[in-house]
Homo-oligomer: A and B are copies of this chain.
């Protein structure tokens, strides 16, 4: 092995994934180990350091070739100082990740939140490769996001940049309560949760027979029914795509990205969904802003986090 290496850690509640990238954002090797949350804060931090070294050793590379280590972490962070303040999924509190790991590993260390890091991963080494301004939407349980301008993550004053799920987009008369306390957030209609809720409502009013017998309804069930020609399911998908595309039209006159990248479980619905998103976007966007803009699926799947974490060192 030769050339500069960038190590990324994607820290989750049950597992920590480590990855090594080349300078151009190519993922060369990964390693995954248990977080061991139950063994306490010190053990979790020691694991981070260990897995960073392990992933490099496993590919028979020299630690000297490592330029730096980046971490994607779920929770509230003091990014500047590299401290994890609190996290819903981790035992750590006020954990000085940056100072601890840079001392343990002898390399520059940077942290950022997991959604931002995933967006950077796609921008650097995935669907946004070669594009300097992209916006990523992650359609899962909620709607997450990340804004990449000039190849770098936009964090924002309260680290809330890219919280695209909380764009208020549904008109008041149709808006329902979001988990955030506000009404009409994009997340209430374009997340898996939103799609499932609309489907359950339809089943309850006797309007979505193919899904009526299911114990649990998934977003995939709704897409499958829509693709099979069920009109109610098709309207639900159309509604999710409509507000998503409309929110992108707004984002286009704020930061005007070249490319929108859509990831997360819901994006697996494929071209059937993407065509409808594009239609809604180009219908609502100012033509001068949307000309040439692309809406594409994410490419890295679960690896977006490690790739983006590795990219922090280069792109900060």
Residues of A at the B interface (CB closer than 8 Å) are 133, 147, 149-150, 152, 154-164, 166-168, 171-172, 180-182, 246, 249-258, 284, 286-293
Q: Is the CB of A291 within 8 A of B257?
A: no
Q: Which 6 A-B pairs have the closest CB atoms?
A: A156-B256, A160-B289, A157-B258, A161-B256, A163-B253, A160-B256
If A246-B168, A250-B167 touch, whether A156 touches B284 (CB-CB below 8 Å) is: no
Q: How many monomers of this chain does the complex have?
A: 2
| A contact patch SS | loop
Sample of 7 more A-B contacts, CB < 8 Å, known A155-B256, A163-B288: A147-B254, A147-B255, A157-B258, A163-B253, A163-B256, A168-B246, A182-B286
Chain B residues lying within 8 Å of A152, measured Cβ to Cβ, are 150
If A149-B149, A289-B158 touch, whether A168 touches B284 (CB-CB below 8 Å) is: yes
If A172-B171, A254-B254, A255-B255 touch, whether A288 touches B164 (CB-CB below 8 Å) is: no
The residue of chain B having its C-beta at the shortest distance from the C-beta of A246 within the complex is B168
The residue of chain B having its C-beta at the shortest distance from the C-beta of A172 within the complex is B171
How many whole Å from A188's CB to the nearest CB in chain B?
14
